[in-house]
Amino acid sequence: MVTKIESRITPLTIISFLMVALWLVIAMFPFIWTLWGSFKVQADFFSRANWTNAIYGVHTIKQTGNFFTSGGYYGAWVEEQFWHSVINTSIVVFFTVVISLTFGTLGGYALARSTYRYAFWILMVGLVFRAMPHITLVSGYLQPFFEWNIWGILPTTIIVLVAINQPFTLWMLHSFFLNIPKDLDESAMCDGCNRFQAFRHVIIPIMWPGVITTALFSFLLAYNDFAVTSMLLSGENETMIPAIASFLGTVQVEGKVMYAVAAVVSATAPLFVLVMFFQRQLISGLTTGAVKG
Amino acid sequence: MKHSTFFWFILPSLTAMILFIALPIVSVFIQSLHIEHEQVLIVSESCDPFGCEETTSVDTEASSKLRAEKPLGRFNGLKTYTNRMILAFDEVGEAWRTTDSFREFWDRVFNLPFYKSLTFTITYTFVVTPFVLILGFFVALGVNNLPKILKGPTIFSSLLPMIVTPLVGSLILFWMVDGDGVIGATLQNIFNDNSLSLKASPLLTWIMLMVYGVWHLSPFSFIVFYAGLQTVPQETLEAAMIDGATKLQRMRHVVIPHLMPLVIFISLILLMDNFRVFEPILGFSAEAHATSLSWLIFSHLRESAFPLYNVAGATSMITILGVTILLTPVLIRTWRDFNRKGH
């Protein structure tokens, strides 16, 4: 009813329209610009003389004969072996998500169903752990990991990311399980199930929406991580984000910055797809615990 | 839930957190109390017809043996915390004695690496957070007024800056505002000043990093506020309208009070995220003018030929302390809520 009254066009509506439009430009333009520019040569994308060069591709046509060039992508993926980092990232991300969800569902369920004081304390400590900058922990890992000779390999990084991810996963799944009525699993227990059976047969079949939402955020944490992966992985096990960072150091020479641009676009593409397909789950995850109070 | 069942359910998660979060904090603390061994020196005397000469050389064998026996180094107490790399008591004291005005004193202190990072981190946190809240709120209001068909695509595009990897996001912006990039080069042409560049001016670097921060986190506050706007009680709004409240008054007395709990939630998350600001500094290559605490730890571990574990450890401890102080109000509040619920 209110919306009907407010749908008249007033100066206020126009201002709010313009503001949203402006925000959209700010949010989207950098991505569109970089995607477009990644198919140009450096002289066009980084043109001091005239920014329109990047649009018309003057130098790209001069140097390669085509309007678009995939030189940056070829350089990054083939010459600099970016595909290697992509495989490493896939391994790290996959196992991090699977393991942290397995641990997280069990723990989150227990925290949601326990009424004792220690459950609350675990959540509070989790909040403090969640707030700590990851790099502070990394400085504690290095010496022991060198000592035990487990530095630089993927499994170490995976388990570290799982642990760093736990506080967040626990909080999110805890508030999700609170929304599943207690009566469900308790009635199963009356029928003779024990806790594990109740969890297995009653909770697991209905928990998937919450788990998928949490999985998305675990994915983002593992995929976007730089502090842990750059410090704990050796050169040949490097994942995408540290690889891009090391590109920057080596490819500042003429023509090679485009490798980094191409790698950056390649690393953004999966996230783009993710938002497209899972927008609803992402939003529900962001607002968990906020709107419900 | 029984204690034993609870224990088995939480065990994997708890083990991971204890092994890789709690123990590393202890390990960081112990590291910060130690310092690398001094080299073992041998003094040998060599005599020739012109007299005897004492030479000192490093006994590498004994040094490495000592290092293998006690990899932590020798105990150094809290001296690492007070040395030049961190709290720099001596330097601050000297600056206090030798400078006349507070400004001069501050300039001297600001040039010490730790204080520089601390200042930037705190400024960044407390500038970016309110801007993100305000921008997110207005965008949420705007999107809420859009026709239904436009809402989906708008939300999709709005999410991107937040989802993108921080390092990647800052690189994308950096390439645009750099001297050769589209915005940077255009600004240089407009002002006809080829020296106009982000890297040249500390102020511009700080502003750029904060603009990045607002760009990166606004979608989060937008989404939460937008979800909150959907739950504003329509009856109250209508009642206010019947009583003759203008749009602005309805906003001020109905909508904003309804969204207040969300402000606390968003600020909490933003404070935590902003305090760890790190990747943008690498992405914008801003080390020269802006460093954060996280960046400082990273550079102690990475940049120097020999990683300074003790300095990195001590900086980490201070950072963790800072985070805890930042969180204290929230923790106290949650503790009160928990008790009120009567568990």
B304: left (phi over 0), alpha (psi -120 to 50) or beta: beta
Nearest to B155 among A163, A272, A279 (CB): A279
Q: What residue numbers bound the domain in which B124 lies? A: 115-340
In terms of domains, do A153 and A59 share one? no
pTM, two decimals, is: 0.89
In terms of domains, do A134 and A145 share one? yes
Q: B323–A244: do the CB atoms touch at under 8 Å? A: no
pLDDT along chain A (293 residues), means of 10: 55 87 93 92 81 82 85 87 93 96 94 88 90 90 89 93 94 89 85 85 87 92 92 90 84 73 93 89 76 44
Measured distance CA(B276)–CA(B259) in Å, rounded:
26
User: Three-state SS for B61?
Assistant: helix
A278 belongs to a structural domain = yes
B308 belongs to a structural domain = yes
B179 belongs to a structural domain = yes
Measured distance CA(A151)–CA(A142) in Å, rounded:
7
Q: What amino acid is encoded at A235 in this protein?
A: G
Q: Looking at the 3D structure of chain A, how many domains does it have? A: 2
In terms of domains, do A66 and A84 share one? no
Do you know the residue count of chain A? 293
Measured distance CA(A192)–CA(B28) in Å, rounded:
48
B36 belongs to a structural domain = no
Average pLDDT over residues B58-82: 77
Residues 6+ apart with CB under 8 A from B282: A226, A245, B167, B170, B295
A147 belongs to a structural domain = yes
Q: What amino acid is encoded at B104 in this protein?
A: E
Q: What is the pLDDT of residue B111?
A: 86
- Residue A174 contacts B where some CB pair is shorter than 8 Å: no
Identify the sign of the CA torsion A38, A41, A46, A48: negative
- Residue A9 contacts B where some CB pair is shorter than 8 Å: no
Tell me the CATH number at A112.
1.10.3720.10
Measured distance CA(B120)–CA(B137) in Å, rounded:
26
Q: What DSSP state is assigned to residue A152?
A: B
- Residue A22 contacts B where some CB pair is shorter than 8 Å: no
B326 belongs to a structural domain = yes
User: Three-state SS for B58?
Assistant: strand
B81 belongs to a structural domain = no
The mean of the pLDDT values for chain B is 86
Q: What residue numbers bound the domain in which A116 lies? A: 76-287
Largest CA distance in chain A: 78
Burial B97-115 (b: 16+ CB within 10 A, else e): eeeeeeeebeebbeebbbb
Q: B168–A23: do the CB atoms touch at under 8 Å? A: no
Q: Which of B2, B13, B306, B316 to mutate to test the interface with A (most CBs of A within 10 A)?
A: B13
CA B303 to chain centre: 19
In terms of domains, do A62 and A202 share one? no
B1 belongs to a structural domain = no
Q: B276–A133: do the CB atoms touch at under 8 Å? A: yes
Closest CA to B129 of B219, B204, B213, B226: B213
| Tens of pLDDT, residues B123-160 | 999 999 999 999 999 999 999 888 888 888 898 889 89
A99 belongs to a structural domain = yes
Measured distance CA(B295)–CA(A70) in Å, rounded:
34
CA B225 to chain centre: 24
B134 belongs to a structural domain = yes
Q: What is the pLDDT of residue B139?
A: 93
CB neighbours (10 Å) of residue A190? 10
In terms of domains, do A7 and A100 share one? no
Tell me the CATH number at B292.
1.10.3720.10
In terms of domains, do A89 and A17 share one? no
Do B269 and B212 touch, CB atoms closer than 8 A?
Answer: no
Q: B27–A140: do the CB atoms touch at under 8 Å? A: yes
In terms of domains, do A61 and A80 share one? no
Measured between beta carbons, the chain A residues lying within 8 angstroms of B327 are 127-128, 131
Q: What DSSP state is assigned to residue B38?
A: P
In terms of domains, do A132 and A182 share one? yes
B6 belongs to a structural domain = no
Q: How far is CA B333 from CA A266, B125, B328, in A?
A: 44, 21, 9
In terms of domains, do A88 and A25 share one? no
In terms of domains, do A52 and A160 share one? no
Q: What is the pLDDT of residue A2?
A: 47
Q: What is the pLDDT of residue B213?
A: 96
Structure tokens at B255: 């909508």
User: Three-state SS for B44?
Assistant: strand
A167 belongs to a structural domain = yes
Closest CA to A230 of A217, A218, A248: A248
Do B31 and A139 touch, CB atoms closer than 8 A?
Answer: yes
Q: Which of B4, B11, B14, B17 to mutate to test the interface with A (most CBs of A within 10 A)?
A: B17
In DSSP terms, B43 is beta-bridged to: B56
pLDDT at residue B304 tops 70:
no
Q: How many CA atoms lie within 13 A of A11 on its CB side?
A: 0
In DSSP terms, B47 is beta-bridged to: B52
Average pLDDT over residues B252-274: 89
A292 belongs to a structural domain = no
Q: Looking at the 3D structure of chain B, how many domains does it have? A: 1
The CA-CA-CA angle for residues A185, A188, A193, to 5°, reads 110
In terms of domains, do A185 and A262 share one? yes
Measured distance CA(A38)–CA(A75) in Å, rounded:
12
Do B128 and B212 touch, CB atoms closer than 8 A?
Answer: no
Identify the sign of the CA torsion A207, A213, A216, A220: negative
Identify the sign of the CA torsion B314, B316, B320, B326: positive
In terms of domains, do A117 and A261 share one? yes
pLDDT classification of B52: cutoffs 50, 70, 90:
confident
pLDDT at residue B11 tops 90:
yes
User: Three-state SS for A51?
Assistant: coil
Measured distance CA(B141)–CA(B145) in Å, rounded:
7
Measured distance CA(A43)–CA(A47) in Å, rounded:
5
Q: How many CA atoms lie within 13 A of B343 on its CB side?
A: 15
Measured distance CA(B270)–CA(A286) in Å, rounded:
13
The residue ranking higher by pLDDT, B67 or B324, is B324
Q: Determine phi and psi for B42, rounding to 5 degrees.
A: -115, 135
Residue where a domain stops, chosen among A57, A73, A89:
A73
User: Three-state SS for A115?
Assistant: coil
Nearest to A131 among B223, B317, B323 (CB): B323
Nearest to B331 among A124, A226, A275 (CB): A124
A residues 79-98 closer than 8 Å to B (CB): none
User: Three-state SS for B2?
Assistant: coil
Q: A139–B138: do the CB atoms touch at under 8 Å? A: no
